[in-house]
Amino acid sequence: MRSVLRIGGLWLVPVAALMFLAACAAIESIESPRAVEPSPAELVVVTGQMDDMMEFYDSIRRQSPAELSRVYDKAKQSFIRNKSDTNRARLVLLLILPNTSFRDVTSATHLLNEWPKDSKSANNLQSFRNLLAGLLVEQQRLSHSVEELSQKLKDEQKRAETLQSQIDAIKSMEKNLLKEL
């Protein structure tokens, strides 16, 4: 009988441990509800919008200037007809492209600043907007710094030329004085 109790007692320990763990898990889920994860449909929408933006950017940076002008005109017209977040983002991406005739960082910044904060678009598009706005502000700050430094360089070059002409004038006077002696 002792062997039956010993064997019977051994299986009680794992069962009791499992029951204890299950109770802890139940208590934990009651005390701290888990964050609601977005449904697969929501993830597809978010990913789809950002994928579309990145594909759009990738396609426009490989286009010729003439093609880019047509795409810009089309994007501008689309935005005028429908001021959706997607149309706004596409127009901003076109406006900040380097080496284009329509590049306008000021207009791009304005479009980003006027982007509705309570927009129903996905958080990723809002995050993308914040990223672009931050990058443009920093780019403008650096551009102003470069302009200031360029102006200082020009001023210093003029000053150096003035000093050089004064040195040349002094040397010339010195030579004339030595000739007279």
Show me where the domains of the chain are located. Answer: 41-145
For residues 55 and 63, the answer to whether their CB atoms sit within 8 Å is no
pLDDT reported for residue 173: 93
Helix axes 40-60, 123-180, angle to 10 degrees: 30
The better pLDDT of the pair 77, 122 is held by 77
Q: What percent of the chain has pLDDT over 70?
A: 71
Distances (CA, A) of 91 to 73, 88, 105, 119, 145: 9, 5, 11, 17, 27
The 10 Å CB-count burial string (b at 16+, else e) for 130-148 is: eebbeebeeeeeeeeeeee
Render pLDDT for 57-103 as a digit per residue (tens, 0 to 9).
888 988 888 998 999 999 999 999 998 888 898 999 999 988 888 98
Burial of 56 (0-12, 13-18, 19+ CB in 10 A): middle
pLDDT reported for residue 50: 80
Q: What are phi and psi of 11, to 5 degrees?
A: -80, -15
* DSSP state letter for 1: -
Does residue 149 carry a pLDDT above 90? yes
Residues 175, 54: Cα–Cα separation, whole Å: 71
Q: How does residue 113 score in pLDDT terms, banded at 50, 70 and 90?
A: confident
Tell me what the pLDDT averaged over the chain comes to. Answer: 77
